[in-house]
Amino acid sequence: MLDLDVIDAHHHLCALSSASYPWLEGPRVDRYHGDDVPLRHDYLLADYRADAAELDLLGGRLVGSVHVENGAADPRWESRWIDGIAAAGLPSVQVVKVDLTSTDAADQLAAHASLPSVRGVRDILNWHVDPFYAHRDRGDLMRDPAWLSGFGHLASLGLSFDLQVFPHQLEDAATLAAAHHDVPIVLDHAGMPIERDDDALDSWKRGIALVAAQPNTTVKISALGTNDHRWTTESIRRIVLDTIEVFGPERAMFGSNFPVDGLYSSLGALYGAFDRITGEFTRSERERLFAGTAREFYRMAGTAAAR
């Protein structure tokens, strides 16, 4: 039995009936995360709570969550909407969207940072030669002066950065972290190992070790189903354990990535797998992985999650 507090470190909500989410609109496009047509509807707090209720069956207690931007066309609208919901306690905090190459990135960041629930920023950087995987049309953003100028405003505003890249981008990610020790950085989705053969996973592990060598970095273990749509506890075991080995439980946290990962399993099945894989860890290590690291990284003092 899980018998632990849980802070879901990465999930999304969606108000598609009220706002535009370009990635959920238009003709169906075949992408690595699978068929997103089942996601093309509202996914509100009540829907998330219904999915998360499965934690009760495991003996877990959902005490907080981190909402991560869900690609709304108007990021300012999205952060205000989530801030209003967070005032009631769940989500506890949020990570917002800013295109850091924008000429007004500083103003956007300041506006988001004025909201009580905002803790960090995500500007997805995933680039790949194959459009099936790519989120961006260029792979050098972490070395681009305009992007770095936008990134440079995070520290003064007290904002963290959710860093989402593929394994071949991890060297650049480590360089970014080394140059900005004043910005807490969390590597999203365990560095997204999109290839799962042994050689690819060996290379991925070396990459995340470069990132972990920087003291300002943490990692989320999440979204493992996006490249393994029929995942099992055994198929994700190595990724979970290698990630924890590299970063340590004190710098690792679990997230659901719902509703996207709801395409591949229930939330209860996912957290049940995390529970089984870490079953031999000490209780204090498991407390860090399931709640403590997220509570600390996202500065949840004063939120429901802190209590």
Q: N- to C-terminal Cα distance for the chain?
A: 22
Confidence at residue 148, expressed as pLDDT on a 0 to 100 scale: 98
Q: Which domains does the chain have, with CATH numbers?
A: 5-297 (3.20.20.140)
Confidence at residue 307, expressed as pLDDT on a 0 to 100 scale: 44
Confidence at residue 102, expressed as pLDDT on a 0 to 100 scale: 96
Confidence at residue 270, expressed as pLDDT on a 0 to 100 scale: 98
Confidence at residue 194, expressed as pLDDT on a 0 to 100 scale: 95
Query: How does pLDDT run along the chain (307 residues), one tens digit per residue?
Result: 899 999 999 999 999 999 999 999 999 888 999 999 999 999 999 999 999 999 999 999 999 999 999 999 999 999 999 999 999 999 999 999 999 999 999 999 999 999 999 999 999 999 999 999 999 999 999 999 999 999 999 999 999 999 999 999 999 999 999 999 999 999 999 999 999 999 999 999 999 999 999 999 999 999 999 999 999 999 999 999 999 999 999 999 999 999 999 999 999 999 999 999 999 999 999 999 999 999 999 999 867 665 4
